[in-house]
Amino acid sequence: MMSVVVAIPEPRASELVAELKLEGVAAVVAASDAPLPLPAGCRAVLVPAAREVLTPGFVATCDRAGVRILPVGGRDGRVLGRYGLAAALPSTASGWEVVAALETDAPSVASPSGVAATSHRLTVVWGPQGAPGRTTIAIELAVEMVRRGRRTTLIDADTVAPSIALLLGLGDESPGIAAACRRAEAGALDDAELARLATSLPASGGAVDVLAGISRPGRWAELTSSRLHSALVASRVWAEESVVDVSGAFDADDEATFDVTGPRRHAATVAALDVADVVVAVAAGDPLGMSRFVRDHAELRRLATRARIHVVVNGVRPGPLGIDARGQIRTTLDRFAGITEVTFLPFDQRAADTALLHARPIADVAPRSALAAAVRRLAAEVLPLAGPPTDDSSRGSSRAARRPLRGRAAPGA
> 38-88, pLDDT tens digit by residue?
777 788 888 888 888 888 778 878 877 778 888 888 666 666 766 667 778
> 370-413, pLDDT tens digit by residue?
999 999 889 888 887 544 555 544 444 334 444 444 443 443 33
**pTM reported for the whole predicted model:** 0.67
Distance between CA atoms of residues 16 and 23, nearest Å? 11
Task: Provide mean pLDDT across the span 287-298.
Answer: 93
pLDDT at 63: 75
pLDDT at 409: 40
Whether a cis peptide bond, with omega within 30° of 0, leads into 71 is: no
Task: Provide mean pLDDT across the span 252-272.
Answer: 67
**167-177 burial: b if 16+ Cβ within 10 Å, else e:** bbebeeebbbb
> 305-361, pLDDT tens digit by residue?
888 999 999 999 888 888 888 999 999 999 999 998 899 999 999 999 999 999 999
Per-residue pLDDT at 292 exceeds 60: yes
Distance between CA atoms of residues 239 and 194, nearest Å? 10
Task: List the domain boundaries for the chain.
Answer: 3-103, 121-402
Spatial CB neighbours of 393, under 8 Å, sequence gap ≥ 6:
147, 204, 363, 367, 372, 376
Percent of the chain residues past pLDDT 70, beyond the cut: 82
Domain spanning 3-103, CATH architecture? 3-Layer(aba) Sandwich (3.40)
Q: How many residues does the structure list for the chain?
A: 413
Q: For 121-402, give the CATH class.
A: alpha beta
Q: Do the strands 152-156 and 68-72 form a parallel or antiparallel pair, or are they unpaired? A: unpaired
